[in-house]
Copies of this chain bind each other. A is one copy, B any other.
Amino acid sequence: MSSWNQNTIHSDLRLFVDLTEELLRIEEEQPVAEYLEISDLSTKLDLHLPDEPSLDQELVDELKRLIHYTPKTASKMFFNQLFGGRHGKAMLGDLLAVVLNNSMYTYKAGGPQIQIEKELTEKIASMLGWGEDSLGTLAPGGSMTNLMGMLMARDAKFPDAVEEGMSTRGIVYTSQASHYSIQKNAAFAGIGRAQVRAIATNAKGRMDTKKLKTQIQNDIAAGLTPMLVNATAGTTVLGAFDPFEEIADICQAHEIWMHVDGAYCGSALLSKRYRHLISGAERADSFTLNAHKMLRTPLSCSLIIVKDKKHLYHSFSSDASYLYQTHDDDMNPGKISLQCGRRNDALKFWCLWKSIGTSGLEEMVDHQFDLAAKAREYVRDHPDYTLYSHDDTVSVCFNYKDIPAELLCNSLYEQSEIMVGFGSFREDTFVRLVTINSGNSHQDLQDFFAHLEAFAKKHLEVSVS
């Protein structure tokens, strides 16, 4: 019988390894987990929390069943969302973060782990060409680093907002194709969703900067205050890159904060071949990227870099004498953090980078674009497919034989064949294949299409013909 105060760390470590070996085996044999109807959850699994302790063997058996039915996000057949697969060294770093369990607010509690985080953010800053005034930190996910960018933009334009709250209408601009966190965050920040202008995009899903300019002029004429332009490096559906140079010119002319949401594809920064896609992003005031997307770390690893650190301090610093007892501010990152206690999300990225080098990260990014290029080529070469996405993106959007994308994706999922989602742009809805798992090979993508075609032939073609 398990006891609350028994020391079982060593045996629990072995349990972990055994369960993980089993997970890896299952993932290989059955890349898409057996689909479990929500109504069957309680018959297939016993997830209830008991009053009394369980036997270790009971827990292990239950964990095995749980692993069996849990979606395999690192498998070769998972293209559903922006997961980058699993790299051993990133996994190693994150597992160590669990057992070390440092909180990243102070040097006293985090020690050299604080420096790990600084190495990462300083390296990204230097790649942007940003100097000593820049500073970065991490927050749990791209929505949260976007929120940090929005708060700094708000507080830069309305310096009293931190003390007095919001009372003036500050306007936010973002493309229609950008991430929904911009609207959501505007509600959180007291700005209001109605103050977010969804700027139309061109046919390739990039923000139309003429429309942006006009909207800004109209808002100024109406007595409103433009405050933030959110520019996207990799829109959620099409994976498009906004025209950063043009946006930077407009922001500069109107003294508007420019934030680059590079959650999805900001990692193009690391590639000599694709760096041009984010040209102009270095003129932004803040820049975010998620290593847990293109760079294959476990969730979450979202970095935000700010060109002038005074904004991080202005929006996020708080005194807390019980907490900040030793060392200068620059080694106590709680002072520039959205959170207080904060998990160590840096070690996984650091381990990966240390292991494969900048050159390895670059190859990883390039490989994703290569995979996408091959997938597009396949779609273009096969007349049963219609392509909706464009070059230079890792989102490959298509339809197959007029089968509705929603039907196709949901059927593939419910029959445990492939995990892939659908998306929409303007009037079209289509399958969105994201080639973001750099662990995949060209052959894996061939298998994806072959699999999809066989599935459609067997299950769907009759029903829609």
Binds B, one of A68-76, A249-257, A279-287, A455-463: A68-76
Query: A164's contact among B141, B192, B410, by CB below 8 Å, is which?
Result: B192
Assess whether A11 is in contact with B88, with CB atoms less than 8 Å apart.
yes
Q: A67 within 8 Å of B by Cβ?
A: yes
A-B pairs with beta carbons under 8 Å apart, 9 shown: A45-B112, A59-B354, A67-B100, A70-B112, A83-B103, A163-B194, A165-B195, A298-B343, A325-B421
Q: Name the residue of chain B whose CB is nearest to the CB of A413.
A: B108
- A192:B111 contact, CB within 8 angstroms: no
CB under 8 Å from chain B, chain A span 1-58: 2-13, 15-17, 19-21, 23-24, 33, 36, 38, 41, 45, 47-54, 56
Is A340 on the interface with B (CB-CB < 8 A)?
Answer: yes
Interface contact B59-A89, CB-CB below 8 Å? yes
Which of A16, A38, A87 neighbours the largest number of chain B CB atoms within 10 Å of its CB? A16
Instruction: Tell whether, in the assembled complex, residue B187 and residue A53 are in contact, meaning their CB atoms are under 8 Å apart.
Output: no
Residues of B within 8 A of A38 (CB): 107, 327, 331
Given the contacts A71-B111, A112-B41, A364-B4, A103 and B123 also touching, CB distance less than 8 Å: no
> Cα distance A356–B8 when bound, in Å?
12
Q: Which residues of B contact A143 (CB under 8 A)?
A: 338-341
A14, chain B: closest CB distance, angstroms: 8
Q: Quick check: is A274 within 8 A (CB to CB) of the other chain?
A: no
> Is A62 an interface position by the 8 A CB rule?
yes
Q: Which residues of B contact A164 (CB under 8 A)?
A: 192, 194-195
Asked if B2 contacts A356 (CB within 8 A), the reply is yes
A351 at the interface (CB under 8 A from B): yes
A96 to chain B, nearest CB (A): 6
Closest B residue by C-beta to A182: B318
Q: Bound state CA distance, A94 and B190, in angstroms?
A: 35
